[in-house]
Amino acid sequence: MHKDIEKVLVTEAQLHDRVKELGRRITTDYAGKSLLLVGVLKGAAVFMSDLMREIELDVETDYLVVSSYGLHTEAGELTFSKDVSVDIAGRDVLIVEDMIDTGTTMHRLLEVLAERQPNSLAVASLLSKPARREKEVETRYIGFEVPNEFVVGYGLDFAEKYRNLPYVGVLHPECYR
């Protein structure tokens, strides 16, 4: 285990099993449709790459980057550092995210993407911290609910570090103080 990790919350094996299960559900739910997976970079990159390989359908993949700067203030707006590169109108879109925390980012992202009139719009998030929720977000697929602790690994970072850990773990508090 990495020296900065206090405890492992979700092991590599648990991640593997759960992602496989989500892939199976998505395969069933979107049968006969042309699914567009939209990964939210950078955090969802690892989850996205594993999840897409568990979906037995023809899928198209795309990515976006949102900057949440100022999002938690009154005037906060969602800005796309990188928008999707396809027109999502009429498409079946599944947003793939690493974590729903307060819900602010996903709530706003859903509003913005819904305006473009996709045929359907749903969310798959690897993790969720329900105790922190401020904005309701309907998340059709959730990997794991985690307690109110700062977690890293499997795509999630602290100051751009730890994304490459193969498990999800809690960082030693002295590492982010």
Residues between 96 and 125 that touch Mg ion (CB under 5 A): 98
- Shortest reach from residue 129's CB to ligand IMP, in Å: 6
C-alpha span between 100 and 19 (Å, rounded): 17
**Binding residue for ligand IMP (CB under 6 A) from 9, 91, 101, 113?**
101
The listed partner (Mg ion, ligand IMP, none) that binds 156, CB under 5 to 8 Å by sort, is ligand IMP
d(CA 5, CA 17): 22
Q: Is 62 a catalytic residue?
A: no
**Contact between residue 86 and residue 60 where contact means Cβ atoms under 8 Å apart:** yes
Give 50 or 98: the residue with its C-beta nearer to Mg ion. 98
- Answer for which of 39, 43, 153, 169 binds Mg ion (CB under 5 A) is 43
β-strand pairing of 79-82 with 35-41: unpaired
| Contact between residue 51 and residue 96 where contact means Cβ atoms under 8 Å apart | yes
What type of residue sits at position 145? E
Q: Which of 23, 103, 143, 153 binds ligand IMP (CB under 6 A)?
A: 103
The verdict on 104 binding ligand IMP (CB under 6 A) reads: yes
Tell me the sheet residues that pair with 121: 93
Nearer to ligand IMP, 24 or 135 (CB): 135
